[in-house]
Structure 1
Amino acid sequence: MAGLLDLPSEVILIIVEYLQSQSHDKGVLIPFYWFGDAYRETVFEHDQPPKVKDLHSLLLTSRQFKSLLQPILYRDIFIRNYTRWNEKRPFDQLQWSLENIPSVQNLIVTAMIPCVEPSTMYDVSDLFWFPNLKDLTIHHFKDWEELEFEDNAHVATSVVEHLRLISCGAHEEALAAVLSWPKALKTLFYDVEQGEWDAHYEDQPVKEWTCEAFVRTLQPQKETLEELVMARPRLEHEGLYNGPAIQLRDFSALKVLRIYHIFLCGWDGPDGISTRLPPNLEVLEVWYDDTQLKKFLVEQHDEPPYDRFLEILVRDKKIHFPKLHKVTVFTDEHIYDRENDEELGAGLWELPTTLAHDAVEAGIEINVWLGCEHYPYQPLQEFDVFRSLEISQTSHATSTVMLRHK
């Protein structure tokens, strides 16, 4: 009987690819406001996915497997954020591989890399110019000053198309430099640690984080960026940000916006929102992360019983963003049933009749999910977090919200 090594290389690759795809069946779609915490949990709590360990073990069994499977092994790189005292730093192990096997950099397509002491963005920055790396996630980028390169020859030369900055406290100059490197960024997930901007050099004034400063850093990508996810770590104290709302009108390519309400409306409230959103917007998702400051449900007699931004979007769609067809709202609020003196269960909110009618007339599907939880660590332990992130990065289904309502 022929052994595995006797099979044609093409057949072996098909088998390995199939086993790799079957090794993470238990991934689930997760809502965008869980992304940041999911990445943080992954980087701090997890080793390489089991499928990578299995592939590495198989690769070591023969020279034939090593040459055949090495491109698959190095295709998706994951480096954890810390190591045990008796182990080599994972980042050092990657550096060793890159130095001793230079061809490895040609194999990497996606990478998740920490940027913490003693590693810096200078160490991580080389990945931006790997020839085939299109998908890059960086955790803990917190530089204050611009990363300098000779003659700015590095600007608009990276092939990275999908960038995620997790727990990012980088100040404006440093962030602007990094966002100038990709030649055509398509998606950006910006998970901002606003409090990092409160630090300052000696007697220099504090530069507080603002949406305006962030948008300035993003200018080099305004003609290519198709999806923006804008989030922040869960609140640990009050007063982190309630400034002017984000202004994205010049981002003509932007089709999908997933954003926390505080960045969408700021202290301006819903007034003027139509002139701030991108003209070709198709999908908008909003998460109310600070309901102590701003709620979706309101109880004022002279106002509709919900945040007015929905009415404004429906009213102004035809003029300002004719392609908008789906709006999804997530909040941890519940409806209180005064008659029975109890909170109603979490789930999909029934739109008021007038709003529902106007939304249909405008061609916008509106879904409002009440009782949504912040990141639930326990439920996701039952699933493959790596796989959950993988399938959630490029798609999102509101039906997955029911995972935490059952």
Structure 2
Amino acid sequence: MKINIPESDQERIVIVGGGFAGLTLARELKKQDYQVVLIDKNNYHQFQPLFYQVAMAGLEPSSIVFPFRKAFQGEKNIFIRVTEVERVDTAKKQLHTPLGLCNYDYLVLAIGADTNFFGNEEIARKALPMKSVSEALSLRNRILTDFEIALSVTDYERRQQLIDIVIVGGGPTGVEVAGALAEMKRYVLPKDYPQLPTDEIDIHLVEGADRLLLGMSDEAAGKAQEFLEGLDVKVRLNTMVTGFDGEVATLSDGSQIPAHKLIWAAGVTGNKMPGLPQEALAKGNRLAVDRFNRVAGTERIFAIGDIAYMEEEDYPKGHPQVAQAAMQHAKNLGKNFKRLAKGTSMQPFAYRDLGSMATIGRNRAVADLPGFKFQGAFAWLIWLFVHLFQILGVKNKVFIFINWVWNYLTYDQSLRLIIRPKEGPIKAAKD
């Protein structure tokens, strides 16, 4: 059985994944002479850089997602199918999905990356990742539910387990989560939970390297740590979390931190696509590609975004797994498909680093831009502007802007709702 997609004289490009790379490529191709099929397990695009604000009750989930079908309304050569790809048959040029087979002339894999627990099964079962809107909502529910339970707990050690939080990974995500939690502890929780000793809440940020923000400058890393420690975040460098049983986090130096929540932001690994040749697999479970984003050992299969491992002279370990690299891959490949349609040669990709930023909270951010390095309020304003500009949809931009202004003026997010599937009431904690 085949997926019901109209037959066409146009060559078919199938894009798997609707993240930054996949969506950007589909938009590049919408006016070209191809039939484009976009496959994703969700019917919406997710703006990953703001997952942490959903988790910290700063934004509505609907503000950072955008329906694919709305993005391509009126485009007659774009077809959306919501399903998962089980494997690819390179010989027959077919994808196997629960909905049936999908033929392709060209296949573009933009399947991204998932949380990397580095083989620690216990941590994988108990930790809280944040690679999707649903995981961000789950984290928000856990944080707020534990605070509600803590109100009724009289035992000091048990209460500490409920209110203390461990964050693993000192990259942009870990730093931003720690900063948001610290601001929530300082400005919001004392008003919401006046009976709870919020000064007892400890936020631990654990990083295995000797500094934060390894992809940024020493100045940015030092300032980020200074900002976090100014917000009473306990930063622990040169330390790894080796175990977590849901109640206690065990560290590489033998110490332990009693905590009910461990947020994992320590690394990513490429999502798997069965059926590709063995030579296509690169380190980090990424797909090795040439300078045209063509997957090694294949002719008409391409990979873009986080899943693509492309070496350049300036990037011998591949491009950083960030949104700007994903979108640059997509735009160059879109232009190359146009060249293929005209019978001209493809142009090799060259990554252009537009800089890196991370925000730690109100008026606290760090930015490394080409030729400039700055920290503080101006970096924070630049961060706000860049992320607001990248959000899809005018309504989403307006809603996010209003939320940010309201939060800035009132020091009070208003989205602290525990929303979860149908289940029993919150259970009392055992003293």
Superposed pair shares fold, TM > 0.5: no
Which of the pair is proportionally richer in strand?
A: 2
Normalising TM by the smaller chain, what interval? under 0.3
In the superposition, the TM-score normalised over structure 2's length comes to 0.26
- Higher-RCO chain (CA-CA 8 Å, sequence separation at least 6): 2
